[in-house]
Amino acid sequence: MSNLDESQAAQSVTFSVRNGVAWIGFNRPQSRNAMTWEMYDALEKHCDQLAEDDTVYAVVLHGVGGEAFVAGTDISQFSGFTQPEDAIAYERRIDRVVGKLETFPKPTLALIEGACVGGGAALALVCDFRYATPTMKFGVPIAKTLGNTLSINNVSRMIDMLGVARTKEALMMARLFGAEESQAAGLINQLFDADAIYAEVTALAEAFAKRSPLTLQASKALIGRALEQRRLPADASDDWVTICYMSRDFAAAVDKFVNKTPFEWSGH
């Protein structure tokens, strides 16, 4: 990143370490913490650095502002997509960042308030533990919003966590899951009131200091290996990524978001 990009990322992704726990905050509350390219880069950089930091034993991801964890990727960034390579490169980039978080060798906790959708859902899914307030809404409503598709890896992650039936509801019906239903489905580990969740997640994260680091690393790595055996190559979704992102529907949906223009789905 350039110096300007790094400055923007530092403002939009907060970072601190307290009592051995790293806190990474997504800080664009005016946009419900929608992720920019710089924010994805910053998250990846933090993961690389924290993986080698022996003074940090757990990481908490959270949204700033109380209204959202992350409400997807900033849609305005898609307006420059004109070639199939743009779409494939974007999905590979998301796979890389999400994969970096998924294989991070220390416990990761997602503290979720409000919207956890799109790219935010992908990030939350690969955290080891998810804690939420009753306002949480989880899903990937792209069938209503953009008309694009997830990569095969992120579809696989959804199936792993939600099962086939709920994944179809999330992707095909654009259904958002509430906090209590998400907890019943096993997606959310525990619900807390908004005024208590930061203290509760702090205690849960700090408790990892009293557990065997090697057992934590081994458990996470072996679970990851088992899941990896069930996944297809990254290029297994390139055909549908290209079709969806290069469609007139996708271009019209992005234009609606950026320029407030009307459109109707055409299927082309």
At residue 9 the predicted structure's pLDDT band, cuts being 50, 70 and 90, is low
- Give the pLDDT score at 227: 94
pLDDT in tens, 109-121: 999 999 999 999 9
Q: Please report, rounded to a whole number, the percentage of residues in the chain having pLDDT higher than 90.
A: 96
Question: Minimal CA–CA distance to 61: which of 6, 98, 7?
Answer: 98
- Give the pLDDT score at 5: 55
Domain ranges for the chain, please list them.
Answer: 3-259
Using only the alpha carbons of the chain, give its radius of gyration: 18
Q: What is the mean pLDDT of the chain?
A: 95
- Give the pLDDT score at 250: 97
Helix (H) or strand (E) holding 16: strand 13-18
- Give the pLDDT score at 231: 92
- Give the pLDDT score at 95: 95
For the segment(s) 3-259, the CATH number from 3.30.470.20, 3.40.190.10, 3.40.50.300, 3.90.226.10 is: 3.90.226.10
Sequence-distant (6+) residues with CB within 8 A of 242 are 84, 87, 88
Question: Minimal CA–CA distance to 54: which of 213, 215, 162?
Answer: 213
Q: Is the pLDDT of residue 4 over 90?
A: no
User: Mean pLDDT, to the nearest integer, of 170-194?
Assistant: 97
Distance CA 186, CA 167 (A): 14
Which pTM value belongs to this model? 0.94
Q: Is the pLDDT of residue 8 over 80?
A: no
Copy the structure tokens of residue 202.
Answer: 């702090």
Please say whether the beta carbons of 62 and 25 come within 8 A.
yes
Sign of CA dihedral 1, 87, 156, 76: positive
- Give the pLDDT score at 7: 57
What DSSP character marks residue 30?
G
- Give the pLDDT score at 190: 98
> Around Cβ 139, how many Cβ atoms within 10 Å?
25
- Give the pLDDT score at 67: 96
User: Mean pLDDT, to the nearest integer, of 192-200?
Assistant: 98
pLDDT in tens, 138-175: 999 999 999 999 999 999 999 999 999 999 999 999 99
> Around Cβ 28, how many Cβ atoms within 10 Å?
21
